[in-house]
Amino acid sequence: MLLLTLITGSFLAYSASYYYHQQQAVLTNLPGTNQFLSDLQWCFLSGHLAIRSYYTSAKSPLIWLLFLLLLWHLNLLVLYDYYEQAYPTVLLVIPAITGLIRLLILPSSQYLLSNLLFLSILLILAVQGKMGSGDVYFFILLALNFPGQTALRAFLFGSLLAIAHIIPINHFQRPKQNQEAHRHYPLLPYLYWGLNLQFWL
């Protein structure tokens, strides 16, 4: 069952990747590109999340099925942000629904205050233009669909990963006419890594 769950999670990530690149091929009127190697990391991460979710929601098949639906959309959000630094807001609908259903089935107010406080900080940063609104929405989706402090830890570890990756790039690669100095980096891929990393520590 462990292997089947891993394959299921990885396949969802692969299908999201295939769907995204086919959509881009249609929009640009160009042949679809195979980005399997660059998207392989999402297959690995999704397989891990699928395994963890299966064993934490084994008593509720509905929660498990909702998570699989959520997982596909999370991968699509990450892919859009990874390649375009933006995503269609319509992709937020299904994860929001799965999160609300989860709250109805497993209501919990634990860490609600800490999540709301952190959300208020993110909103302030978004208003000041220091963070994209899409990143704020992603935090809300994580808070709705994952228990406890999972969303907070995902942002903590994801932000640390982003800092550890971006600072060396900016330090060792001199900007060409300051173009790279104002480059926008996608945050959702780091948050997705952070979501997984917290379960390994």
pTM metric for this prediction? 0.89
Distance (Å, whole) CA 27 – CA 33: 13
Local structure of residue 182 (DSSP, 8 states): G
Structure tokens at 18: 């295939």
pLDDT tens for the chain, residues 1 to 201: 778 889 999 999 999 999 998 888 877 766 656 676 778 999 999 999 998 888 777 567 888 889 999 999 999 999 999 999 999 999 999 999 999 998 898 887 788 899 999 999 999 999 998 888 999 999 999 999 998 899 999 999 999 999 998 877 666 665 554 454 456 778 999 999 999 999 887
Q: Under a CB-based contact definition with an 8 Å cutoff, are residues 188 and 82 in contact?
A: yes
Question: Largest Cα–Cα distance of the chain, in whole Å?
Answer: 57
